[in-house]
Amino acid sequence: MNTQSVPILNDDCLLRIFFFLDLASLARLAMVSTRFRDLVQYTYKSFRELNVDDLLLNHEPKATDLQRIAMNIGPYVRVLRSLDFYDDNIIDFLPALKFFTNLEGFELIGNFRYVSNANYQNFLAAAFRTVKEVSFEKCDLTDYSVKGIGKAVHLRKVFLESCSIGGTWLGKLRNITTLHFQKYIPPISQFRTFCKHNSNLSELVLHRYDYYEPCGNYLNVVFKYLTNLEMLVLEPNENPIRLKNFKKLFNLPKLEYLKLQNGQNLNFLLEHLANHNTLKILDISLSKDSTEDLRVIKNFRKLNQLNARRTNFDDSLLIELCSSESCETLQSLKIGGTAVTDDEVGEFIIKCKNLEFIDLTECEKITDNLITKIAPELENRPHKLYIQMEGTEIKNQLQNNVIHCSGY
């Protein structure tokens, strides 16, 4: 198409073309003519998410253009992703932040050098009035650097990865439903204040963290205040979780997802959860408990997913799980790095009618014969079974519903 034919296209045709373009390209088109500007502004309404890295790195607009781009797209953007303060040209973008007035969420990375920047401060003050979800990564989070977060009345989800956490701002939050910490967790006093005022929290994740205080202090707070939790993830960086002393405190009647990686003395806790019969996803990978202690797993009746990688899970446990009620509901089983064998795994797969995925990587007693054994038995299943395991001789042409995969 030559350039003279473009104006001949009607508005509907141009809009169809514009819908395939990214925000930065649309912003440039808006500068071509009044007609294009009107059409682009209409097209903007279909965009809800802007990746700042994509705008700054791939399109490299001039500093003077950033204001125009932000002026056009800002009111329509609902989620601002990858606002990375490590970018060399981020300083040119900061004045344009004032145009993003209707955000529902944002991701911010590395604010250390800019916590005192007026544009940064004004952006947060305005964004916290509307946002429902925020994500901070490698940030310095003090009362000063997140000024105004206590007034974020719509905020429900908070994700903090590798952030230094200080001050009292966390305790000022209200009505939070999701809270994730990765690598660092807050001082116990701030965490306790937060939990007191957010008893309806449904999702708490403490991922790859290091202890500032004994783990038991945090568990005491969780079990005392967060009785509405539906998802709890405790994944320490090194120290194992010992839950022997917390049986009376464990009162999470709505819990459906539990991850206790590298845990010890879990048997009484699992027995308590089995009696409540609410758990659907259980992850006890890297647990040091004995096979006898893990037998309580058979008492769960609604499990959809079980992760027991690198534990003392063996054939005897698999036999008991095969005769349990969970055998009817289980869809995913991860037992890589355990002592299970071909025969018992094969019997379990055949009997577990709803199983869709099983992880057998690093299982030294599992061979290619397993596939040969189970393939004919699964021929009439309505869904495929994905098996993750080592083996160079596995053939995908074993047809039926068995699929060997190296990852899942």
| Sign of CA pseudo-dihedral 322, 327, 331, 337 | negative
| Region of poorest pLDDT, from 3-7, 29-33, 150-154, 354-358 | 3-7
Secondary structure E strands in 52-202 = 79-84, 105-109, 133-137, 140-141, 157-161, 164-165, 178-182
CB 27 within 8 A of CB 16: no
| Model pLDDT, residue 225 | 92
Q: What pLDDT does residue 185 have? A: 87
Q: What are phi and psi of 121, to 5 degrees?
A: -60, -45
Distance (Å, rounded) from C-alpha 208 to C-alpha 237? 4
pLDDT of 21 over the 50 cut: yes
Per-residue pLDDT at 397 exceeds 60 = no
CA 54 centroid distance within chain: 22
List the Cα angle 191/182/115 in 5-degree steps: 80
Residues 171-209 have pLDDT tens digits of 999 999 999 999 888 888 999 999 999 999 999 998 876
pLDDT digits (tens, 9 = 90+) for 243-252: 655 555 567 8
pLDDT band at 239 (very low <50, low <70, confident <90, very high): low
Given a cut of 70, whether residue 236 has pLDDT beyond it is: yes
pLDDT at res. 240? 65
% of the chain exceeding 90 in pLDDT: 48
| pLDDT for position 54 | 75
The pLDDT tens digits for 63-118 are: 777 887 788 778 888 999 999 999 888 888 999 999 999 999 999 999 999 999 99
The pLDDT value given to residue 33: 84
Find, among 262, 268, 270, 317, the residue nearest to 288 by Cα: 262
> Does residue 58 carry a pLDDT above 70?
no
To the nearest 10°, report the CA torsion of 294, 299, 303, 308: 10
Q: What is the pLDDT of residues 266-318, one digit of tens each?
A: 877 788 788 878 899 999 999 888 999 899 898 998 899 999 999 999 999 99
pTM: 0.84
Query: Mean pLDDT, to the nearest integer, of 380-386?
Result: 85
